[in-house]
């Protein structure tokens, strides 16, 4: 008498059984919605390269907060577009700028909503780089790491004073987590958490974001401070450094082309791990769906599950609202 035939398909025979034995799931509370607040507009301004996404006036911050909370999202992360820019990113330190004002309005409207802020000067500099610049002796231009982290620490403090629960440095400057933690603690904001973009690659998938945040570099690229796509072991070093400097959470960006890196960082750290499902990844799905190549709703959930399965605890995604609708259906 032979052994019974193993039939894994028994656990796939109905939707209820599949749901019961599902290994990885996504909930609305796992999702963070990125938002762009432009202080120069009075009505939403659609981002042409990101169908369904708009720059928003600060006056809509409270309403957007209420919607995110009603959807059960884990939180929001804010990016700012100022009226004026200069080579020093001076408007990043304006306590009445678009991000501090939006933070205050959101926390006033929905105190329980987790509000995060991007801490980087690329949206505020006229050259579009993530740091202040200096000229080397040979005449070449480079990012001045140490001057930049001084600005980032002050910027993070302004966001914390406005009410931000989490500040998220995305610049990839060395030592910025320690500088921000020191500044926040010294000023009494030791309860403000730091979500570090610890592993951020120099990726082609950021293109649509640069329209949304008006931050495309006017010359050169960011390969001198963002990570080389071929490196994975370096990701572990970067994550470990930021953890040692006081980061409370870590992030890998982008997500889909770096699922192996998400897994590697997950296995090397016990900190909460986030992944950014970036603008190019979002727009690819939108474009494919518009051309009737894919079922958009199924693709959204499949992508998010893949990122969670790789090891991310939470996901920054422009599909957050639609995904929450699908998950609650």
User: Is residue 148 in some structural domain?
Assistant: yes
- Residues acting as catalytic residues: 200, 253
Share the mean pLDDT of the chain: 95
Q: What is the Cα gyration radius of the chain?
A: 20
pTM (predicted TM-score) = 0.94
User: Is residue 76 in some structural domain?
Assistant: yes
Q: How far apart are CA 278 and CA 102, in angstroms?
A: 22
pLDDT in tens, 268-305: 999 999 999 999 999 999 999 999 999 999 999 999 99
Closest CA to 251 of 223, 271, 281, 231: 271
Q: How far apart are CA 199 and CA 18, in angstroms?
A: 34
Lowest pLDDT segment from 8-22, 74-88, 199-213, 284-298? 8-22
Do residues 72 and 206 touch, judged by C-beta distance below 8 A?
Answer: no
User: Is residue 203 in some structural domain?
Assistant: yes
Percent of the chain with pLDDT over 70: 99
Task: Say which CATH number the domain at 92 has.
Answer: 3.20.20.70
pLDDT in tens, 110-149: 999 999 999 999 999 999 899 999 888 787 888 899 999 9
User: Is residue 122 in some structural domain?
Assistant: yes
Burial class from Cβ neighbours inside 10 Å (0-12, 13-18, 19+) for residue 65 reads: buried
How many domains is the chain built from?
1
User: Is residue 96 in some structural domain?
Assistant: yes
> Residue range 89-108: average pLDDT?
97
> Residue range 301-315: average pLDDT?
98
Closest CA to 246 of 169, 199, 180: 180
Range of the domain at 124: 25-328
User: Is residue 228 in some structural domain?
Assistant: yes
Percent of the chain with pLDDT over 90: 86
Q: Quick check: 199 pLDDT over 90? A: yes
User: Is residue 87 in some structural domain?
Assistant: yes
User: Is residue 59 in some structural domain?
Assistant: yes
Residue-level pLDDT at 1: 54
């Amino acid at each position: 008498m032979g052994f019974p035939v193993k039939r894994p398909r028994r656990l796939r025979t109905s939707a209820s059984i599949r749901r019961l034995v599902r290994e990885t799931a996504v909930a609305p509370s796992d999702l963070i919605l990125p938002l762009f607040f432009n202080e120069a507009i009075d009505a939403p301004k659609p981002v042409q390269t990101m169908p369904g996404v708009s720059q928003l006036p600060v006056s809509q911050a409270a309403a957007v907060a209420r919607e995110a909370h009603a959807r059960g999202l884990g939180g929001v992360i804010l990016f700012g577009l100022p009226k004026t820019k200069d080579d020093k990113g001076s408007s990043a330190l304006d306590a009445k700028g678009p991000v501090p004002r939006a933070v205050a309005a959101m926390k006033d409207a929905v105190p329980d909503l987790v509000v995060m802020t991007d801490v980087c000067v690329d949206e505020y500099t006229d050259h579009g780089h993530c740091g202040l610049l200096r000229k080397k002796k040979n005449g070449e231009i480079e990012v001045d790491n140490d001057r930049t982290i001084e600005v980032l620490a002050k910027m993070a403090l302004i966001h914390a004073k406005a009410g931000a629960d989490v500040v998220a440095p995305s610049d990839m400057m060395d030592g910025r987590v320690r500088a921000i933690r020191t500044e926040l603690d010294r000023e009494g904001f030791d309860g403000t958490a730091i979500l570090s973009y610890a592993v951020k690659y120099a990726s082609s998938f950021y293109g649509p974001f640069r329209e949304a945040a008006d931050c495309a570099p006017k010359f050169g690229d960011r390969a001198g401070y963002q990570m080389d796509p071929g490196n994975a072991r370096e990701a572990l070093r970067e994550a470990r450094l930021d953890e040692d400097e006081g980061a409370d959470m870590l992030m890998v960006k982008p997500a889909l082309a770096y699922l192996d890196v998400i897994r590697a960082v997950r296995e090397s750290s016990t900190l909460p791990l986030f992944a950014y499902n970036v603008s190019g990844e979002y727009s690819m799905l939108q474009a494919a769906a518009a051309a009737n190549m894919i079922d958009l709703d199924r693709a959204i959930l499949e992508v998010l599950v893949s990122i969670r399965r790789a090891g991310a605890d939470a996901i920054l995604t422009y599909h957050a609202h639609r995904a929450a609708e699908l998950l609650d259906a």
